[in-house]
Amino acid sequence: MNVQYPVPLSGAKSSTLMWAQEHEVGAQALQQLRNIAALPWVHGVRVMPDVHLGKGATVGSVIAMKQAVSPAAVGVDIGCGMEGVLTSLTAADLPDDLSKIRSRIEAAVPVGFRAHEYPVSVRKLGLDRGWDTFWGSFSSLHDGVQDREKKAQQQMGSLGGGNHFIEVCLDDEDRVWLMLHSGSRNIGKELAERHMRIAKSLPHNADLPDRDLAVFLAGTREMDAYRRDLTWAQEYASRNRAVMLALVMQAVRESFEQPVRFEKPISCHHNYVAEETIDGLDLLVTRKGAIRAGLGDLGLIPGSMGTGSYVVRGLGSERSFYSASHGAGRRMSRNEAKRRYTVGDLIEQTAGVESRKDAGVLDELPAAYKDIESVIAAQSDLVEVVAHLKQVICVKG
């Protein structure tokens, strides 16, 4: 049956439109969305096709608020997002054995809990703009994180774990792309958790249906402090991806005898807050697991470590609050994936991809994620496909 999207969420107290059917979404996630829509500051909620349960706020949600913002609606990985770039290489340039390229990338970019032994020399990478001002503002961040500056500097240009990745991909024309997914590392997490605790303690949040949805209100010192730290962490995430991409580009250059050229990178946050005009109102728009898809905006929507990704261009849909999905979205929890599948399943589902094939990434196997093709099809009114990518190398923490 063909469904015309969007569809309204039943029982929602404010305008809530979904690019998914309710029977496809877990009951807990649906209740979470209704809880969000019931907040008195919410103008409207938009739900992307990759929607699934999150901590506090639902992953795949776009929340437009009046004079308020919920830290949980951003999440702990502030500024998490994607970076991608088209190279001058083609499939014919790639060696049969891709393990050496993967090893070069892993040597250049720390993964998992690892960090650089010394801060990356951004000037040697040609990324020398604004760093002194950026790091100079560290001392103004939330009390208690000032002793984390060295760690934050060493983690700049590192991947992390979970669903974060670095990939070498081929598009349908056999052109080689580089793509990566990461965020604000431990410093973003620390800032987010500190502000979430503060928000829960404020009197105006005492009677909320879910205390994880606690908000800060405009005009308060708590809101000002959160917006300051949020903006800094979003910039950290963006700079982190830029440094990583430069390191990966360098590793790829060193893997080939011929010169390798790179186009202008595509970059997009998918856990962030922005001031935007929605329905003629100036609102604070939070995207948690969603990208901005304004008219002409380029974005990246990844699938899983075995199913490929999409480069898209926004169609400027007002009904979606100018948004689209951030990926395929999980169809089961990490623990469930580990219970249901084996390393053998992982190996089978990532056949043809040079990647880890061990129990440490079992919860990231393709079967744990929704079908990316269906997710893209459900938002045909939100984005147009620019390129379909299939990974040949996938690096994970």
pLDDT in tens, 105-160: 999 999 999 999 999 999 999 998 999 999 999 999 999 898 999 999 999 999 99
Q: pTM (2 decimals)?
A: 0.96
Catalytic: 195? no
Chain position carrying tokens 């001392």 = 139
CB 65 within 8 A of CB 283: yes
- Tell me what pLDDT residue 341 has: 98
Average pLDDT, stretch 222-251?
Answer: 98
Region 44-73: mean pLDDT is 95
pLDDT on residue 209 = 84
CB atoms within 10 A of CB 115: 20
The continuous run of DSSP H or E covering 323 comes out as: strand 323-325
Return the pLDDT at 134.
Answer: 97
* pLDDT for residue 3: 79
Q: How confident is the model at residue 274 (pLDDT cuts 50, 70, 90)?
A: very high
Strand partners, 298: 313
Q: What is the mean pLDDT of residues 204-226?
A: 95
Contacts of 58 (CB under 8 A, 6+ apart): 29, 32, 33, 36, 47, 51, 52, 288, 289
Annotated binding site: 77, 163-167, 181, 270-271, 302-305, 309, 326-329, 396
- How confident is residue 67, by pLDDT bands cut at 50, 70 and 90? very high
What angle (nearest 5°) sits at the alpha carbon of residue 334, between those of residues 329 and 339?
A: 130
Catalytic residue selected from 52, 195, 269, 326: 326
User: Residue 7's CB: how many other CB atoms inside 10 A?
Assistant: 15
Q: Which domains does the chain have, with CATH numbers?
A: 7-331+369-396 (3.90.1860.10)
331/315 Cα distance (integer angstroms) = 27
Distance CA 231, CA 89 (A): 36
User: Quick one: average pLDDT of 306-310?
Assistant: 94
CB 252: neighbour CB atoms within 10 A?
22
Beta bridge partners of 388: 310
Q: What is the pLDDT of residues 339-397, one digit of tens each?
A: 999 999 999 999 999 999 999 999 999 999 999 999 999 999 999 999 999 999 999 98
> Where does the pLDDT of residue 1 fall: very low under 50, low under 70, confident under 90, or very high at 90 and above?
low
- By CB atoms closer than 10 A (0-12, 13-18, 19+), residue 244 is buried
Q: Residue positions in the annotated binding site for GMP?
A: 163-167, 270-271, 302-305, 309, 326-329, 396
Q: What's the chain's average pLDDT? A: 96
**Annotated binding-site positions for Mn(2+):** 77, 164, 181, 270
Euclidean distance between CA atoms 267 and 393, whole angstroms:
20
- pLDDT at position 264: 97
Do the beta carbons of residue 142 and residue 216 sit within 8 Å? no
pLDDT tens for 79-94 read 999 999 999 999 999 9
What's the pLDDT score for residue 128?
A: 84
- The pLDDT of residue 333 is 93
